[in-house]
Amino acid sequence: FLKVSKKKISYEDGKEGILLILSDITFLKKLERVRSDFVANVSHELKTPLTSIKGFVETLKDGAIDDKDVAIKFLNIIEVEVERLVRLINDLLYLSEIENAAMPILDEKVAVKEVVLESIELLKIKAEKKNIQFDIKVPEGLEMNIYRDWLKQIFINLIDNAIVYNKENGKVWVTLEKPNGMVVIKVKDTGIGIPEKEIERIFERFYRVDKGRSRKLGGTGLGLSIVKHIVELYGGKIWVKSQEGSGSEFTVTIPIKKKADPHQ
């Protein structure tokens, strides 16, 4: 995209001319596009549960409320949809907090094992429902200079996915290693896996391999993009190896000492 602007100029000998300025605004246009796609996606994601809530409320008012069993069923659906909206809004706020890392970055010395165990504790009930076993290996005394909440968010999002997209009686491995100046985090599962052609896209905001399935399971489509943002803020990387039908392994690498850089 080129933007053309004109400017009148006068020369020393009194003659006048016009200066044509051509600017390449491809990048700005792209940015505009990304932003408007994002707004469209957010609106759609908010509208879907709202439309469903409205529908059930109307049906209740139209008489369904008189049948107690039906009424309870509808109220439960409404509750699930409201919970999803809350999760979505929380994820959006989280994403914007990370993106506008103008906020002072609160790095601190963090005992990593403690954070891993806390994250798993939060997801325990979800894992128990599917009878999923954990195998956790974290070096004793491992410390990182990082914002504790963000490190916890990395574990929660990756482990949550490893449970949600796993099979009944499946397994989740959380392994941490500390080779030369890096912390390497691996979260592996025995789940449904990710088709090869989708792998590149799953870190995009709102991208899901199976939209219906992710929604039904309570997903917002923002978990991995939040993880990627945090990891990149610390100069790290994230990637995944996956085999459809047998499982996935997410790997995150973060340099140990590096301070978060909001300009990354």
Chain positions contacting ligand ADP, by CB under 6 A? 157, 161-162, 165, 189, 191-194, 202, 207-210, 214, 219-225, 248
What is the C-alpha separation between 117 and 134, in angstroms, rounded? 11
Encode 102-118: b = buried (16+ Cβ within 10 Å), e = exposed: eeeeebeebebbebbee
Give the residue with the Cβ less far from ligand ADP, 73 or 213: 213
User: Cα separations (Å) of 97 from 92, 101, 110, 172, 174?
Assistant: 9, 6, 20, 29, 27
Tell me how far, at minimum, the Cβ of 117 lies from ligand ADP, in Å. 20
Q: What is the DSSP string of 122-168?
A: HHHHHHHHTT-EEEEE--TT-EEEE-HHHHHHHHHHHHHHHHHTSPT
Tell me how far, at minimum, the Cβ of 17 lies from ligand ADP, in Å. 55
Tell me how far, at minimum, the Cβ of 76 lies from ligand ADP, in Å. 21
> How many Cβ atoms are within 10 Å of 19's Cβ, its own excluded?
9
Tell me how far, at minimum, the Cβ of 162 lies from ligand ADP, in Å. 5
Give the residue with the Cβ less far from ligand ADP, 162 or 176: 162
Give the residue with the Cβ less far from ligand ADP, 157 or 253: 157
Tell me how far, at minimum, the Cβ of 140 lies from ligand ADP, in Å. 27
Q: For the chain, state the CA radius of gyration.
A: 24
Give the residue with the Cβ less far from ligand ADP, 162 or 260: 162
Give the residue with the Cβ less far from ligand ADP, 58 or 149: 149
